[in-house]
């Protein structure tokens, strides 16, 4: 019996090719979109998960602002871990990580920079359960001058040789450490917020000349360490958190320690001094909503088309019942047709997914994989899809099997209004979702363009930052002299317009800023609560990046290139409750234990980290230390030589002065735009899946239009016989659909206003939700509906009325 049902189903799908194609194609698009989005969502939710990860937490700092503590710093003190372990028996172990954003490795003739490593306590492998391929987890990081390499870094350095117990040099901040390889670990997965390519033993602080006595000593003075704790599996985390925040470990009433789950960091943490830019749970929620919307739209589309075709099969159903078919048999037959159609759709969807996955990975910059290996990860997704498809096929099956044989054989089913209200509701739901997605797409695009086009208070165009590690034994003073020689040689190049030296620049990482509290002005005015950020530059920096002064000027010249001079921004003035910039210019202030800092000028606020965050209160210091050599290129001269040629000539000069070094360059404007990378990716995904949702909704509307035209076939024929024009027939058939789109629009406006308003709350500076966005979305939805409906309606309007009335 079932084989017969399968044959009938196959023949029916082959006979009704257009119906089968639209249904299968619509379902395949919905399923493929759902799988792609959920692969990304699952990947984002998989961060920092390993055996025992649920018991690992990160310690961070809260700071008092006004009467409220806020999450102020992802880093803690070197004494935080030992203190918390001593105070709370629930804490089994701690590890401190001193992050090295980039270090230079030297092994024989090999000199290269390696990003992302740390100095770590020996307890690292007790907390982070990552496999060690060679070496002893308990002793690999015990004692100074030891290093554990990732598998890929070990191969990069030593090839196929065994690296164990071999030595190499690591340069960081101009200082060398000679380290012995004591372990090789598996490459840490990409889905972790802290991807260490190497680990240097914590005790190396004592032998590495880059660390001063104040940093080596255990204290609560320098919060430059990421601290992680492992707690007993039976620990009440909320109770422990309460005890940690109430424990005044460092004796400072204006700050406190806090803890957060390791598994929550990637999606829920966005603190200053994060290791890397984390994800966003808001984006994940929006993408998940889009995935379900598209999948449900494809199901609704299927239901509409199936119920439309059920009218054509009413007589077939009546005949089957007359000859003895039970309703259960008709339901089974209909479900077999549904399973066959959906099965084909799933196969095509998986093929679509495999074809589109490389493109999708390029857009998201992830390495998502769909394979049998990760079948367990996507099994819930496929299970949900199959269940939904079964339920979507159940309604048409019940509808078709429920027709009265007598009415079906008389042709009275066609004039029945049974189920019309449901189908109208389905089409309204489809266009409700489509309009919401259209509005969302327009607002996301508008916000991204707003972030990109808004002036930031500085000009970063044509500026490159040169940076490299010089692997020599030269002292700082000799290196500075060499940089002066390099600067003079670069000025001879025709395309070099200006130069300066700076610790950081707009768009650079948070880690290159220092912070301080407790600023004191000469009249005793102070702000103990607010965090102020600081970095050092040379006097010509402000002119180079075109940051304007509202009062005073840049640093005055000094013989040694450094002085106790600072420039502050307008937000600093506001935070210190000063009436004007002029009243502070030329005055001294106190921070970092020194009260001889002289304010030479006040600059206009500029956005150091884009418009996603508020402007920070900043103090910029005068200091000669070399970090980044900023070079502004002459636009007209570069246009003649080309950027590649210009960079090559600059590198030749660099290598001539620093033959044993690395060389890197960064375009400041490109680096600044990288801050919006995740938002741009989100915007692209929103646009792509909105287009697919529109396509699916149009298919659903096509199905309902077909149903309406079949249902009113005789009515149209009678009207045409009585003189109705094609225009009048089109108006008759289209007006209901216009009304349904209007209802969907009215419902979509408040929903999308609320949802997109919530999304925009994640930005300190945001665009307005303009009225024209809603109007445009409504017009587009109406236009799509009219085009889709008119195509079918026109065929009905121009049909020969004789064909509709000949059986009367």
| Residue 409: predicted pLDDT | 46
Candidate from 132-136, 189-193, 541-545, 589-593 with smallest mean pLDDT: 589-593
**Can you give the pTM of this predicted structure?**
0.86
Residue 637 has pLDDT above 90, yes or no: no
pLDDT top residue among 341 and 404: 341
| Residue 415: predicted pLDDT | 46
Kindly give the pairing relationship between strand 175-185 and strand 146-150: parallel
| Of 566, 575, 588, 674, residue with least CA distance to 615 | 575
pLDDT tens digit string along 568-588? 999 999 988 888 888 889 888
| Residue 715: predicted pLDDT | 67
Residue 269 has pLDDT above 60, yes or no: yes
With beta carbons less than 8 A apart as the criterion, state whether 472 and 660 touch: yes
Residue 371 has pLDDT above 80, yes or no: no
Give alpha helix (H) positions in 313-374.
Answer: 314-322, 327-364
Cα→Cα distances 69→171, 255, 590, Å: 38, 8, 24
| Residue 377: predicted pLDDT | 64
| Residue 132: predicted pLDDT | 93
- The CA-CA-CA angle for residues 414, 415, 421, to 5°, reads 95
| Residue 320: predicted pLDDT | 58
DSSP, res 76: B
- Beta-carbon contacts of 750 under 8 Å, excluding residues fewer than 6 positions away, are none
Distance in angstroms (rounded) separating the CA atoms of residues 371 and 421 = 42
- Give the model's confidence band at 607: pLDDT under 50 very low, under 70 low, under 90 confident, else very high: very high
| Residue 210: predicted pLDDT | 83
Residue 346 has pLDDT above 80, yes or no: yes
| Residue 682: predicted pLDDT | 87
pLDDT tens digit string along 232-258? 999 999 999 999 999 887 777 888 999
- Give the model's confidence band at 312: pLDDT under 50 very low, under 70 low, under 90 confident, else very high: low
Mean pLDDT of 784-799: 70
| Residue 464: predicted pLDDT | 94
Mean pLDDT of 663-668: 92
Distance in angstroms (rounded) separating the CA atoms of residues 335 and 355 = 30
pLDDT top residue among 698 and 668: 668
Average pLDDT of the chain is 83
With beta carbons less than 8 A apart as the criterion, state whether 570 and 605 touch: yes
Three-state secondary structure call for residue 481: helix
């Amino acid at each position: 019996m079932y084989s017969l049902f399968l044959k009938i189903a196959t023949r029916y799908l082959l006979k009704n090719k257009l119906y089968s194609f639209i249904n299968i194609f619509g379902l395949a698009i919905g399923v493929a979109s759902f799988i792609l989005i959920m692969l990304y969502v699952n990947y984002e939710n998989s961060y920092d998960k390993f055996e025992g990860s649920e018991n690992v937490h990160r310690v961070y700092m809260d700071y008092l602002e006004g009467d409220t503590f806020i999450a102020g710093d992802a880093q803690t003190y070197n004494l935080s871990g030992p203190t918390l372990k001593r105070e709370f028996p629930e804490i089994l172990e701690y590890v401190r990580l001193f992050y090295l954003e980039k270090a230079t490795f030297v092994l024989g003739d090999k000199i290269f920079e390696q990003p992302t490593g740390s100095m770590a306590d020996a307890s690292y492998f007790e907390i982070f359960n990552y496999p060690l391929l060679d070496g002893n987890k308990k002793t690999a990081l015990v004692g100074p001058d030891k290093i554990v390499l990732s598998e890929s870094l070990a191969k990069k350095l030593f090839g196929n040789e065994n690296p164990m117990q071999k030595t190499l040099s690591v340069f960081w901040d101009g200082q060398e450490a000679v380290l012995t390889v004591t372990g090789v670990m598996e490459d840490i997965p990409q889905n972790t917020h802290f991807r260490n390519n190497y680990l240097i033993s914590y005790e190396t602080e004592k032998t590495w000349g880059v660390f001063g006595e104040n940093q080596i000593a255990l204290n609560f003075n320098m919060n430059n360490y990421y601290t992680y704790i492992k707690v007993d599996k039976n620990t009440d985390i909320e109770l422990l958190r309460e005890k940690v925040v109430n424990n005044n470990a460092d004796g400072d009433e204006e700050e406190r320690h806090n803890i957060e789950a390791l598994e929550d960091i990637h999606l829920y943490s966005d603190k200053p001094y994060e290791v890397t830019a984390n994800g966003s749970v808001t984006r994940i929620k929006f993408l998940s909503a889009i995935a379900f919307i598209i999948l449900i739209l494809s199901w609704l589309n299927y239901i509409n088309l199936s119920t439309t075709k059920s009218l054509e099969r009413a007589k077939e159903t009546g005949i089957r019942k007359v000859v003895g078919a039970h309703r259960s048999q008709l339901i089974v037959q209909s479900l077999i047709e549904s399973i066959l159609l959906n099965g084909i759709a799933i196969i095509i969807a998986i093929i679509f997914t495999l074809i589109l996955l490389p493109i999708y990975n390029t857009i998201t910059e992830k390495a998502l994989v769909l394979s049998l290996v990760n079948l367990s990860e996507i099994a819930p997704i496929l299970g949900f899809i199959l269940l939904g498809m079964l339920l979507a096929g159940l309604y048409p099956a019940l509808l078709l099997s429920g027709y009265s044989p007598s009415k079906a054989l008389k042709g009275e089913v066609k004039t029945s209004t049974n189920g019309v209200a449901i189908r109208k509701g389905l089409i309204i739901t489809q266009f409700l979702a489509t309009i919401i997605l259209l509005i969302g797409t327009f607002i996301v695009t508008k916000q991204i363009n707003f972030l990109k086009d808004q002036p930031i208070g500085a000009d970063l165009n044509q500026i490159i930052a040169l940076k490299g590690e010089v692997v020599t034994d030269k002292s700082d003073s000799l290196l500075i002299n060499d940089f002066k020689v390099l600067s003079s040689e670069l000025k001879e190049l025709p395309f070099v317009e200006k130069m300066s030296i700076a610790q950081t620049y707009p768009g650079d990482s948070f880690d290159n800023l220092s912070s301080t509290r407790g600023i004191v002005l000469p009249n005793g005015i102070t702000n103990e609560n607010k965090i102020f950020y600081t970095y050092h530059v040379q006097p010509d920096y402000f002119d180079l990046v075109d940051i304007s002064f509202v009062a005073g000027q840049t640093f005055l010249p000094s013989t040694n290139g450094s002085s106790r001079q600072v420039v502050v921004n307008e937000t600093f003035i506001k935070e210190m409750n000063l009436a004007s910039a002029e009243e502070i210019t030329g005055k001294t202030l106190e921070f970092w234990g020194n009260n001889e800092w002289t304010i030479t000028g006040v600059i206009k606020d500029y956005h150091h980290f884009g418009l996603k965050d508020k402007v920070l209160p900043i103090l910029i210091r005068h200091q000669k230390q070399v970090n980044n050599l900023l070079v502004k290129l002459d636009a007209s001269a570069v246009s003649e030589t080309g950027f590649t040629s210009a960079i090559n000539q600059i590198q030749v000069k660099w290598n001539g002065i620093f033959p044993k070094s690395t060389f890197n360059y960064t375009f400041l404007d490109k680096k600044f735009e990288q801050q919006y990378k995740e938002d741009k990716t989100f915007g692209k995904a929103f646009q792509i899946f909105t287009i697919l949702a529109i396509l699916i909704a149009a298919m659903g509307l096509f199905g309902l239009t077909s149903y309406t035209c079949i249902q009113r076939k005789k009515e149209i024929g009678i009207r045409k016989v009585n003189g109705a024009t094609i225009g009048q027939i089109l108006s008759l058939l289209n007006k209901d659909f216009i009304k349904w789109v209007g209802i969907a629009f009215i419902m979509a406006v408040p929903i999308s206003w609320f949802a997109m308003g919530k999304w925009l709350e994640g930005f300190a500076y945001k665009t307005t939700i303009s009225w024209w966005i809603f109007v445009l979305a409504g017009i587009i939805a109406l236009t799509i509906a009219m085009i889709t409906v008119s195509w079918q309606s026109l065929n009905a309007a121009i049909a020969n009325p004789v064909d509709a009335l000949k059986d009367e």
